[in-house]
């Protein structure tokens, strides 16, 4: 049976991606430091996943049949929380406690505290293994659910990723979907200069994954790839390499590694928010 899509418009998804960027800027204001670059690079991917594809029930966060979403690049949680709040997993007012003493919402997602967070992360390279365990368990129990793990391209340097990739390919996990947010930067600079991971598609294909490579900010392309990955028939795991731009949506951040982590003073914050409201410049 075909999995249902919500069939929302690209315009709505673009608005949600805008919201992710806007709320990232606002939340960073609360604590004085934030991962702008990697939140902005994944905005279209997360918007399309949650508003078009994933089967979740905000009123029933642990619904057994739900699709799972794991944020391997946990430092981008600041871009996930506003989506979970907007969907109703918790109120947006709760998010005002972001990073404050005892808050459920820290720099990395915590499954024990945040409704809608399917697993915790923060230690890069762990979540694809957890996702494959979920996929094994769901398949064993005949669940129709999908498990989606969004990773960073810097994360490709972790050896455990390739342990998990090899296992998922060998276990033939058709309910497991990987996405690489290929924004090309990490803490120390450009990924290609720190530890080049190319040719990336060929690596995953060699590990028995089917791979598509897309522009991760092109919403029709993102939706087509997610439809293939989540809803199409396959014998094994699928990977989407989403070529993205770190800091996408704010001109002075785009393509920079310097805004992997940072803080915008009030004047620059307003400048960034104005650019975000104007939307992406192709």
Partner 1 sequence: MSGKVYDQQADPALDMAESTVQAGFDPKSWDMVGSLNLSRQLPTGQVLLDLAAAGRADIVVLTADLGRPTQVIQFGQRYPERYFNFGIAERNMIGAAAGLATTGLTPVISNYSFFLALMGLENIRNDICYPNLKVRMVGTHSGIAMGFYGTSHHCNEDIGALRTLANLSLVAPCDANAIRAAIPALIDHPGPVYFRVGRGRETPVYEAPPSFTLGGSNRLREGRHATIFAIGNLVSAALEAHDLLAKEGIELCVVDCYSIRPIDQAAILAAAKEHGILFSAEEHNVTGGFGAAVAEVLAAAGAGARLVRIGMPDAYSVLGPPTHLYRHYGLDGAGVAATVAKALRAG
Size of the site for partner 1 (CB under 8 A): 32
- Is residue 130 within the footprint of partner 1 (CB under 8 A)? yes
- Is residue 124 within the footprint of partner 1 (CB under 8 A)? no
Interacting residues with partner 1 between 12 and 71 (CB under 8 A): 64, 68
Q: Cis peptide before 150, with omega less than 30 degrees from 0? A: no
- Is residue 118 within the footprint of partner 1 (CB under 8 A)? yes
Among 20, 25, 83, 131, binds partner 1 (CB under 8 A): 131
* Residue closer to partner 1, measured from CB, 123 or 258: 123
- Is residue 84 within the footprint of partner 1 (CB under 8 A)? no
- Is residue 157 within the footprint of partner 1 (CB under 8 A)? no
- Is residue 138 within the footprint of partner 1 (CB under 8 A)? yes
* Residue closer to partner 1, measured from CB, 159 or 266: 159
Among 20, 114, 135, 241, binds partner 1 (CB under 8 A): 135
* Residue closer to partner 1, measured from CB, 160 or 212: 160
Q: At closest approach, how far in Å is the CB of 44 from partner 1?
A: 27
Distance of CA 162 to the CA centre of its chain: 19
* Residue closer to partner 1, measured from CB, 91 or 112: 112
Contacts to partner 1 by CB under 8 A: 64, 68, 111-112, 118-120, 122-123, 126-138, 140-141, 143, 147, 160, 163-164, 166-167, 171
């Amino acid at each position: 049976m075909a999995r249902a899509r919500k069939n929302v418009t690209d315009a709505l998804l673009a608005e949600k991606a805008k919201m992710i960027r806007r709320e990232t800027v606002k939340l960073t204001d609360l604590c004085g430091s934030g991962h702008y670059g990697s939140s902005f690079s994944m905005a279209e991917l997360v918007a399309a996943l949650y508003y078009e594809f994933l089967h979740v029930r905000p009123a029933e966060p642990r619904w057994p049949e739900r699709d799972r979403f794991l944020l391997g690049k946990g430092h981008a949680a600041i871009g996930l929380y506003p989506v979970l709040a907007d969907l109703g997993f918790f109120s947006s007012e709760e998010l005002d406690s972001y990073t404050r003493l005892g808050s459920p919402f820290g720099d990395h997602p915590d499954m024990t505290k945040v409704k809608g967070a399917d697993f915790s992360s923060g230690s890069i390279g762990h979540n694809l293994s957890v996702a494959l365990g979920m996929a094994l368990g769901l398949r064993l129990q005949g669940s129709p659910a999908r498990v989606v793990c969004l990773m960073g391209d810097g994360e490709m340097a972790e050896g455990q990723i390739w342990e998990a990739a090899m296992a998922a390919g060998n276990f033939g996990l058709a309910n497991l979907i990987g996405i690489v947010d290929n924004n090309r930067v990490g803490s120390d600079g450009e990924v290609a200069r720190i530890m080049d991971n190319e040719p990336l598609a060929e690596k995953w294909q060699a590990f028995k994954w089917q791979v598509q490579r897309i522009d991760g900010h092109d919403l029709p392309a993102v939706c087509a790839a997610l439809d293939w990955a989540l809803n199409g028939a396959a014998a094994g795991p699928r990977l989407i390499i989403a070529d993205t731009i770190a800091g996408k949506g704010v001109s002075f951040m785009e393509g920079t590694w310097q805004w992997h982590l940072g803080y915008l003073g009030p004047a620059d914050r307003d400048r960034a928010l104005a650019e975000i409201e104007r939307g992406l410049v192709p």
